Structure 1
Amino acid sequence: MLTKKQKFVYGFARFGSTIFMGLYDFASFYIYWQVFKLDPALAGIMGAAGKITIMIASYIIGFISDSIWTRLGRRKPFILTGAPMLALSGFLHFTPIYFLTSIDQSSLFLWGVGTSVLFHIFYAWLLTPYQAWLPEISEPHERIDISMIQNLSNIFGQVVSTVTSFSAKMLVASGLLTPLMGLYALVLVALFTPQVFILPVERKTETIRPSLRDFLTVFRYPEYMKWMGVRGLMSASVQMLSISIVAYIEYVIGVEKTLASASFGLILVLFVAGAFPLWSRLGKTRGKGYALSLAITVLVVTLLLTPVPHFINETALKILFGYLIVAVGAVAVSAYVLFPYAVLADLAHWYQERTGENRAGLFTGFEGIPINIFESLAYLVTGYLMSLPNVNGYTMGLILWGPIGAFFALIALLLLKKTNIDPFLARNR
């Protein structure tokens, strides 16, 4: 059992990491494309390179963190060293103009790919052991509450990254981007470091040595593998939304940059964070599977409606319809960002109860494989879409990304219907 203070220290650390990952997932493509003027197809390859890197790194680091034991336990050494390295690599990724002597396409692309690879290695180094820690220091009934703290922190981090992305051109012109990224780096280190001193060391269990048999373990766990399919498909859909939404609001909805940053950030906080209690209550009473199925259904419908503002000529109506899409979509996405932490912890705990083997790090690390394969695909598809010819002053890709994202979400919904992600539901009742 964790105290309220320990739950907060564990969960709120996500604010720091989400600022950087939010900037990467939500704004890196946009900033390199719209601010640094990198070709969108190259920006898509840059994003895919990072996701392929974290796919490999997450699995390896999950194995390593399961296999070692120090006086700080298994997970704390990775948190202590990973936070400053993630902060540094994230800082470098978003400040190429202060380090490159020539901002040509080749130099910018190589810098973006190189720092993207480093950023994702250290993200895996920090976050894979961090998340694997959850089932080892908490009980099942605590995890939805802890997930809510994590995801509220994620939302606040996303708001910060959203405002920063819309303000990128101004920040670069005024010379404020470097100190701002430095501040974000300090916040990241300051939030993760206290965990080493405040949170308990997990119970020492038998040291696990990586083997092919361990790798095959995940394939013998049907519910986990089906959940990985859902995660991968939903990751593609949500990633396409994240990559495209900034430019979509700016160009298709037609909201000015300064207004868009404030209004979209406000909508994100009100509707995503505001929907957490709804989904949490529904998840506890009807199950996470029921709540998530409902949310994905709403998301599919919302994404299918994203091309509509393109055909609306009245400015006020276009903005009203556009922000209605954003608000409803935010409510739907909030369930997807709320439940995965708790689902993974429950599935890992359920496996340990049935087999006596602790594979939390393995399951957490393997999760990165389907997620990042599909996120890489999302970057490549979005990069291609944004390279399509212009219609009404913006690329045709800003009209097509929503229906394509809906296709991925619909397949995820069909698979979720066949997956039990609530192994403790009857017991908790």
Structure 2
Amino acid sequence: MSERQALAARTKFAYGVGQVAETIKSTGFDIFLFFYFTQVLGLSGTLAGLAVMVALVFDAITDPMVGYISDHWRSRHGRRHPFMVVAAVPLGFAWFALFMPPASISQTGLFLWLAGFAILVRAIMTVYYVPYLALGAELSNDYEERTSVAAWRGVCGVAAAALVVLVGLALFFPDSAEFENGLLNPAGYPKVAMAGAIIMSLAILLSAWGTRDRIALLPKAPASLLRNPVREDIAAAWGNVSFRSLFIGTMLVAVSIGIVQTLNMHLNVYFWQLSSASIAFLAIGLLMGWPVGIVMTAPLHRRFDKKMTIIVAALIGPLAGNVAVVARLAGVFPDEGSPLFVPLIFGVLFISGVAAGLAVTSGASMMADVTQEHRFRTGRSQEGFLFSATAFTGKMAAAIGYLVAGMGLDLIGFPVQVEPSQVTLLEVNRLAMLNLSACVFGFASVCAYFFYNIDRTRQEHTRIELAAREALL
């Protein structure tokens, strides 16, 4: 890969489709899983948060392991594709089982079921997703083309999220006379789990099949890499200032995300008192914002560079995501009957989506540049290890966020298995304040991103020098 490589659109599309599997998993966790086990099945918030935390910690530990193994893997099918293919079908089975606990199970049983199958789902996803991310960094060595690859992945992720929110909520959780909000109906969860299982497995197989023609062009594991102990890999990665910047920034953002994602559906159902149809409609604002942010990323990288783009996104995201909540708590937000109620929520969600699209696409592109510089400095092609190391800290921090949110629900005495009309104003206001605590961590990530030091000029110089050096080998 010594020359700049313009990838075919079909290759980038095939790669992007692979994001569908991870997005369905993460969106399913965020929208359905925690709410299902607490509000529908009656598991306490602390136990639910602890179960998700245990799964995330296990997941975080396995990420670097899979990345390390994938970096060292040698086969005629390359370093990444064998892991992607082997995970596809088992992931579907584990995902469906996660939503199928036995009837009349105890609190302890529910906790063990949630923790056990959440661990299994995340472990299998790791086998697929870490090599998949590394593959994205290896498809091209060009500064702007890497942003394009990340953008295709982001667009496919948005499409998957839209599928879950718009189709999943409307099709499987309609409101009825029996349930004020369709999400309280237990009959919808096995159906949405089955649909997700099938789509995830097919997306993985399609991505692996559509990128198989690139295998011969991808970097191989050199013999020297096979002799390096893990501690040397960790030390070499930590010695890279830009890697540390993304590592710490990801950690802070992940705590914020863990809190928000845990409480998101509770906020929609009880604080805003939205119906299932309204939740799906308003989610369009967030989903519309994502592709706008993704499309804006490349021109912003050309004008302001990647570092400034992610810093701005990290500032805007928490503000947009919480301004409506603060306004409602302050008594200045329109009432439910106002014609401005839904459009204002839609607007702030759209802005939040734009910021998220910018941040995720920028972060993926920046990490690809870090892996190139790491390869230049150390001679080691370790995309899997570096991507997984950042994912490690993100998941560990997100685990803390889930636990904090779950325990917070119990500390504020938030009721379970109740309709929205049965929850008091004091209880929903406490829920909103608990959600706002996530902003602190989101803003703090900006401080970490300031230390990132790879710009266009430095990346181009590294690319040329690396190509020249490898041409002599």
Q: Would you call these one fold, judging by a TM-score over 0.5?
A: yes
Q: Kindly tell me: are residues 101 and 249 of structure 1, through their superposed partners in 2, closer, same or farther at Cα, counting changes over 3 Å?
A: closer
User: What is the letter of the counterpart of residue 183 of structure 1?
Assistant: A
User: What is the letter of the counterpart of residue 185 of structure 1?
Assistant: A
Q: Kindly tell me: are residues 190 and 420 of structure 1, through their superposed partners in 2, closer, same or farther at Cα, counting changes over 3 Å?
A: same
Counterpart in the other structure of 2:264 = 245
> 5 Å matches for 1:20-419?
20-96=25-101, 100-140=102-142, 141-163=144-166, 164=168, 168=173, 170=182, 173=185, 175-199=187-211, 200-201=214-215, 202-207=218-223, 208-209=225-226, 210-261=229-280, 263-303=281-321, 305=323, 306-312=325-331, 314-315=335-336, 316=338, 318-387=341-410, 388-389=412-413, 391-392=424-425, 394-419=427-452
Q: What secondary structure, in the 3-state scheme, does the structure 2 residue paired with 1:354 have?
A: helix
Q: Kindly tell me: are residues 422 and 398 of structure 1, through their superposed partners in 2, closer, same or farther at Cα, counting changes over 3 Å?
A: farther
Q: Kindly tell me: are residues 240 and 297 of structure 1, through their superposed partners in 2, closer, same or farther at Cα, counting changes over 3 Å?
A: same
- List, as ranges, runs of 4+ consecutive aligned residues in structure 1 with deviation greater than 4 Å: 165-176, 317-321, 423-426
Q: Using the alignment, how far apart are the partners of 2:66 and 2:289 within structure 1?
A: 35
Greater shift after overlay, 347-356 or 188-197?
188-197
Contact 2:309 2:362 in 1 (8 A): no
Contact 1:346 1:422 in 2 (8 A): no
User: What is the letter of the counterpart of residue 334 of structure 1?
Assistant: G
Q: Using the alignment, how far apart are the partners of 1:126 and 1:419 within structure 2?
A: 28
Q: Which runs of 5+ in 2 are unaligned?
A: 174-180, 415-423, 462-473
**Aligned-pair CA distance for 1:223:** 1.4
Question: Which of these two proteins has the greater Rg computed from alpha carbons?
Answer: 2
User: What is the letter of the counterpart of residue 364 of structure 1?
Assistant: F
Q: Kindly tell me: are residues 424 and 115 of structure 1, through their superposed partners in 2, closer, same or farther at Cα, counting changes over 3 Å?
A: farther
* TM-score of the two chains, using structure 1 as the length reference: 0.91
User: What is the letter of the counterpart of residue 119 of structure 1?
Assistant: V
Q: Kindly tell me: are residues 153 and 293 of structure 1, through their superposed partners in 2, closer, same or farther at Cα, counting changes over 3 Å?
A: same
User: What is the letter of the counterpart of residue 10 of structure 1?
Assistant: Y
Greater shift after overlay, 407-416 or 179-188?
179-188
* TM-score of the two chains, using structure 2 as the length reference: 0.83
Q: Which runs of 5+ in 1 are unaligned?
A: none
**Aligned-pair CA distance for 1:311:** 4.1
Q: Using the alignment, how far apart are the partners of 1:343 and 1:329 within structure 2?
A: 21
**Aligned-pair CA distance for 1:110:** 0.8
Which digits, 9 at most, give the CA deviation of each residue in 1:313-343, with x for residues without a partner?
7322554544443232222222222222211
Q: Kindly tell me: are residues 370 and 291 of structure 1, through their superposed partners in 2, closer, same or farther at Cα, counting changes over 3 Å?
A: same
**Aligned-pair CA distance for 1:39:** 1.1
Greater shift after overlay, 133-142 or 174-183?
174-183
Q: Kindly tell me: are residues 289 and 402 of structure 1, through their superposed partners in 2, closer, same or farther at Cα, counting changes over 3 Å?
A: farther
Q: Kindly tell me: are residues 422 and 85 of structure 1, through their superposed partners in 2, closer, same or farther at Cα, counting changes over 3 Å?
A: farther
User: What is the letter of the counterpart of residue 258 of structure 1?
Assistant: A
Identity among equivalent positions (%) equals 18
Which digits, 9 at most, give the CA deviation of each residue in 1:201-244, with x for residues without a partner?
12324043343212222221121012100011112222322222
Contact 2:72 2:221 in 1 (8 A): no
Which digits, 9 at most, give the CA deviation of each residue in 1:21-48, with x for residues without a partner?
2111343212212222211111111111
Q: What secondary structure, in the 3-state scheme, does the structure 1 residue paired with 2:74 have?
A: coil
Q: Using the alignment, how far apart are the partners of 1:118 and 1:38 within structure 2?
A: 20
User: What is the letter of the counterpart of residue 206 of structure 1?
Assistant: P
Q: 2:33 aligned with 1:15, yes or no?
A: no
Contact 1:309 1:321 in 2 (8 A): no
Q: Kindly tell me: are residues 49 and 412 of structure 1, through their superposed partners in 2, closer, same or farther at Cα, counting changes over 3 Å?
A: same
Which digits, 9 at most, give the CA deviation of each residue in 1:241-295, with x for residues without a partner?
222222212222222222222x123112222222322233212321111111111
User: What is the letter of the counterpart of residue 431 of structure 2?
Assistant: L
**Aligned-pair CA distance for 1:73:** 1.1
